[in-house]
């Protein structure tokens, strides 16, 4: 019997699906949900924009780490669009060194990180350290860059939490 094989390398992992042609239609129907989930991970991307609010030149990235020097407009990433299944880890020095910030969702303006990002990685979704649900209300606090939302931690009552869209 003939066999159809689907093989794809993604981020250092391999996925292989083998199907016998005689039962191909039955097996495809059974494997379709798994295949669709797998294809979503292949399509996962991060798009970096030159200007705030997803404007200007853009570059679409997948699972490869890179540095800002490889971006045409050099040095200023002013908005970041992240697929729901990814997190984006940025570093303020080349070669994944220095301070870092993890972005869990798209941001129209990365605040004080707009000129600091020197290298970055795209990784599978990391759960945020702060639960979006809490009994504590959010409050607005003014900063020199604008406003941020803050509250007392629901887990550690003496520590503040920030709901940040800018790192």
Rounded Cα distance between 77 and 58, Å, is 9
Residue 133 has a pLDDT of 58
pLDDT in tens, 39-83: 444 555 899 998 988 999 888 887 655 556 666 666 688 899 999
Residue 55 has a pLDDT of 92
Q: Kindly list the domain boundaries of the chain, sorted by start residue.
A: 3-43, 46-124, 129-167
Residue 113 has a pLDDT of 84
Rounded Cα distance between 4 and 60, Å, is 32
Q: What is the pTM of this model?
A: 0.56
CATH level 3 topology of 46-124: Gamma-B Crystallin; domain 1 (2.60.20)
Give 10-residue mean pLDDT values along the chain (167 residues): 44 47 53 51 75 89 64 75 88 87 84 84 77 64 69 66 57
Q: What tokens does 138 get? A: 């959010």
Q: Radius of gyration of the chain from Cα atoms?
A: 20
Instruction: Judge residue 145's burial from the number of C-beta atoms within 10 Å of its C-beta, 0-12 exposed, 13-18 middle, 19 or more buried.
Output: exposed
Residue 120 has a pLDDT of 87
In which residue are the tokens 């809490």 written? 134
Residue 162 has a pLDDT of 65
Strand partners, 18: 5
């Amino acid at each position: 019997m003939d066999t159809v094989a689907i093989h794809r390398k993604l981020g250092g992992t391999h996925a292989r699906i083998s199907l016998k042609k005689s039962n191909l239609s039955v097996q495809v129907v059974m494997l379709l949900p798994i295949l669709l989930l797998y294809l979503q991970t292949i399509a996962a991307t991060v798009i970096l924009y030159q200007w705030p609010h997803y404007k200007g030149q853009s570059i679409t990235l997948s699972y490869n780490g890179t540095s800002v020097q490889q971006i045409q407009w050099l040095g200023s990433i002013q908005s970041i669009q992240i697929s729901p299944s990814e997190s984006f880890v940025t570093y303020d020095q080349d070669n994944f060194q220095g301070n870092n910030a993890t972005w869990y969702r798209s941001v129209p303006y990365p605040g004080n990180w707009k000129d600091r990002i020197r290298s970055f990685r795209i990784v599978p979704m990391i759960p945020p350290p702060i639960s979006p649900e809490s009994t504590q209300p959010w409050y607005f606090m003014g900063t020199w860059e604008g406003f941020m939302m803050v509250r007392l931690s629901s887990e550690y009552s003496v520590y503040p939490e920030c709901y940040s869209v800018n790192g």
